[in-house]
Amino acid sequence: MVRCRRRLHSRMRLYPSLEILFMSKLRKVATASFRWGWFVLLVLLAFGYMVAGLSGNQLLRIDFRLDSQTVVARQVDSSAMPAVKNIEQTILPTVEKINADRNQRLNRLGLECSQPSDWLTVCRRLSLALVGNGLSLEEIRTLEQIDESKRERMHLENLLQDQRFHHYWAERWSRFLVGTDGGQFIVYRRRRFRIWLAEVFAANQRYDQTVRELLTAEGLWTDKPQVNFLTATFDSNDGSADPIRLAARTSRVFLGLRIDCLQCHNDFLGNVNLGDAPDLREGMQQDFHQLAAFFSSAKTNGLQGVRDGEVDYSYKYLNDEKETDVEVGVPFLPGLLPVEGKPRARLAAWVTHPENLQAARAAVSHVWALMFGRAIGETVDNLPLDEPTHPMMDSLARDFVAHGFDLRRLIRVIAASEAFRADSRAEFEITPEHEQSFAVFPLVRLRPEQVAGAIIQAARIKTTDRESSFVLQLLTMTGTNDFVTQYGDIGEDEFNSDSITITQRLLMMNGKLLRELVESNPILNASKHVGMFAHDTPQTVELLYLSALNRFPTSSEKKHFVSRIDCSENTDEAIEDLFWVLLNSSELAWNH
């Protein structure tokens, strides 16, 4: 063997051209192997991506037969049924009370009420409210496996445990608590604050505990995310917490009162009534600035972050010649304010006191608005002390306090109420008064992120959640962000129901996102999956309606679109066109 190798080596020395040819061939083989290796790797990655995006541990099978009703369905957890029943029994007295409040008001006003909605409509409302998009075809088929009377409650319980709910509500509450501005990057971490809120919702932490943590937060904004509630105002007060902005935010968020105007002058128009019932009075400048004085105790202490200190607040009131030292104080129910303790701790104890029903009303108002897409009264954060916004609100607020400030219980009660389950259509003429009194479910335009979430989820057979493939989650996130930016983010004004603009309509019709979602993509898009697995054209139309609008088509709709698809020379293009029409419909863009 050694002799052969030496002989080969000697021959190569004698024939250098042969050595060059040999090495050249070797390099070509290595290059080809390298290229094929990359090709195989890409194929494996693509296969893994498809499998991750289209399957899961709970996946049964892809089967579009209507009689089996198992279109990418997940196994129903039968062990959860008794727990759902126990929850229903627990909240039943409260649900009956708020239903009685609603009916009493409707009778007094002489208003008729609509019939209850079907289960699919109610479940779509729940999904829009809690995760920001409609139901997936997978979720619909899963719910069809259980008794119809239990579907709404089961869907709600699934959503409350879903990480999508925790993160979606964290963003919605972040806007309410700290706004949408970036603030000073060095001392403000909005993303960290939002993640902390998601953890709060995941743990179902008591609402009053969350409020106390926000109002009394100390430390660094990176180590203690709650501190960002304070540092969000650093950009307007030379690197310190801004007492005026914090007072305005606290009064709106935690008290449901707009007393911003009292910063500059007393209330001359009778818009702000404060004090204690039945002896209410007009709002004064002192009311606002005494509330702001609590936050002057939040001192910035270098690397230690925010620390509590002494109250140091002065203000020059209107028509005064010089500034006045302002003591801390609350605008109503002063007897509930603790006499001793740190300033912000005293304020937090007053806000979360069980007898401070106004603070509970503020929480109920915001949760109600997130569930319905509109406020229970004229506005979400302006609940007058001198007149009840709606009798249902006080009943909900008292139950909220009595049951440990439990947000999930509050959501369950609202979701089970006749007001939430009412149909948006009725045999009688619907007036604005019907919607204001919740005799019918109000028609509310979806917010931009809900529109994006609805069309993205509609284009996927499976639920797009944290269990989806990383690539699919990335596409969903980037698609949503780009769409919302172009569609128009409404910022903190979460419940603005202005009509859709021409620019927004054009984006829906011609935008890149919608075009990519309806095209015949065999890996991702529902339009292609329906064409591949539906056994006939009527079922194709049904599945597209369920995916896009979360309802079955009417007989006339089915007949019309079946004929259009059957007459088409290109079935795939006809399916794409129908899907595009459904996603561009006004029905998809409204909560109803």
Q: What is the pLDDT of residues 433-455, one digit of tens each?
A: 999 999 999 999 988 888 888 88
What pLDDT, on a 0 to 100 scale, did the predictor assign at position 24?
61
| Domain of 399, in residue numbers | 80-161+357-442
Neighbours of 277 (CB within 10 A): 10
Do 514 and 570 fall within a single domain? yes
Task: Give the DSSP letter of residue 205.
Answer: -
What pLDDT, on a 0 to 100 scale, did the predictor assign at position 77?
58
Find residue 116's DSSP bridge partners: 422
Do 121 and 199 fall within a single domain? no
SS (H, E, C) 153-168: HHHHHHHHCCHHHHHH
Distance (Å, whole) CA 541 – CA 26: 58
Residues 6+ apart with CB under 8 A from 343: 293, 294, 296, 297, 308, 311, 328
Mean pLDDT of 533-537: 87
Do 151 and 223 fall within a single domain? no
CB 495 within 8 A of CB 374: yes
Q: 24 lies in a domain?
A: yes
- Identify the band that residue 55 occupies on the pLDDT scale cut at 50, 70 and 90: very low
Angle CA 136–44–529, to nearest 5: 30
Do 585 and 475 fall within a single domain? yes
What pLDDT, on a 0 to 100 scale, did the predictor assign at position 539?
93
CB 569 within 8 A of CB 577: no
Helices and strands per DSSP (H, E), number in the chain? 26, 8
Q: 68 lies in a domain?
A: no
Angle CA 358–364–369, to nearest 5: 130
What does DSSP say about strands 279-282 and 273-276: parallel, antiparallel, or unpaired? antiparallel
**Comparison of pLDDT for 317 and 418, the residue scoring more:** 418
Q: 53 lies in a domain?
A: no
Inform me whether the pLDDT recorded for 46 exceeds 60.
Answer: no
Name the residue with tokens 């079955």: 552
Q: 301 lies in a domain?
A: yes
pTM of structure = 0.85
Task: Tell me the two tokens of residue 248.
Answer: 């305005």
Do 382 and 330 fall within a single domain? no
Angle CA 302–250–225, to nearest 5: 40
- Per-residue burial over 200-224, b if 16 or more Cβ lie within 10 Å, else e, is bbbeebebbebbbbbbbbbeebeeb
Of 493, 498, 561, residue with least CA distance to 530: 561
Distance (Å, whole) CA 16 – CA 22: 10
When mean pLDDT is compared across 282-286, 294-298, 332-336, the lowest value belongs to 282-286
Q: 62 lies in a domain?
A: no
Angle CA 116–117–123, to nearest 5: 130
pLDDT in tens, 59-91: 333 444 333 444 445 555 555 555 666 778 899
Name the residue with tokens 């105790």: 297
Distance (Å, whole) CA 181 – CA 360: 27
Distance (Å, whole) CA 126 – CA 133: 9
Do 219 and 285 fall within a single domain? yes
Given 442, 476, 508, the domain boundary residue is 442
Mean pLDDT of 104-126: 96
Find residue 280's DSSP bridge partners: 275
Distance (Å, whole) CA 298 – CA 216: 9
Coil vs helix vs strand at 284:
coil
Do 456 and 572 fall within a single domain? yes
- H or E segment and range at residue 365: helix 357-372
- Per-residue burial over 538-577, b if 16 or more Cβ lie within 10 Å, else e, is bbbbbbbbbbbbbeebeeeebeebbeebeeeeeeeebbbb
Do 311 and 347 fall within a single domain? yes
Residues 6+ apart with CB under 8 A from 271: 261, 283
pLDDT in tens, 338-386: 999 999 999 999 999 999 999 999 999 999 999 999 999 888 888 888 7
Task: Tell me the two tokens of residue 555.
Answer: 């007989």
pLDDT in tens, 172-186: 999 999 988 877 777
CB 221 within 8 A of CB 305: yes
What pLDDT, on a 0 to 100 scale, did the predictor assign at position 62?
40
Q: 75 lies in a domain?
A: no
Given 426, 442, 458, the domain boundary residue is 442
Distance (Å, whole) CA 126 – CA 158: 11
Of 441, 423, 417, residue with least CA distance to 100: 417
Neighbours of 486 (CB within 10 A): 16
- H or E segment and range at residue 203: none
- H or E segment and range at residue 408: helix 407-416
Coil vs helix vs strand at 280:
strand
| Angstrom distances, CA of residue 155 to CA of 175, 396, 491 | 26, 22, 29
Given 320, 351, 382, the domain boundary residue is 351
Do 523 and 398 fall within a single domain? no
Q: 55 lies in a domain?
A: no
Coil vs helix vs strand at 433:
helix
Integer-rounded Cα radius of gyration of the chain: 30
Mean pLDDT of 220-240: 85
Do 382 and 283 fall within a single domain? no
Do 174 and 270 fall within a single domain? yes
Do 307 and 432 fall within a single domain? no
Q: 66 lies in a domain?
A: no
What pLDDT, on a 0 to 100 scale, did the predictor assign at position 140?
95
Domain count, the chain: 4
Whether the bond into 278 is cis, omega within 30 of 0: yes
Of 154, 179, 3, 178, residue with least CA distance to 79: 154
